[in-house]
Amino acid sequence: MGKSYNDLYTLLQKFLNDKLSIREVEREFNCFSEKQYQNIDYQSLFRKDLLLILEYAKEHNLSLAVASSSTREHILEVLEACQI
């Protein structure tokens, strides 16, 4: 299982010798992540074969879920970029 973002922020804070508060680490991490995410072309990474699975699920009234350690906001951005 993955760790929570709070665990990550705590590790980063220790790595930085406690120079920043947890809130500051979180803010800096989020700013960094947003900049990195803006440079990714999700369409080029999208597996087109997944469209067949999505179509099949829709035709058969199957519910699907997305599992990710990313934030909900980021997941929605990726799904929108891939037109899902």
Q: How far is CA 20 from CA 10, 29, 35, 36, 42, in A?
A: 10, 12, 20, 21, 32
The Cβ of residue 4 has, within 10 Å, a number of other Cβ atoms equal to 10
Q: What pLDDT, in 10s, does the model give residues 20-75?
A: 999 999 999 989 988 888 889 998 999 999 999 999 999 999 999 999 888 888 89
* CA neighbor of 16 nearest in space, from 7, 25, 26, 27: 25
Decide if 75 contacts 66 (C-beta within 8 A): yes
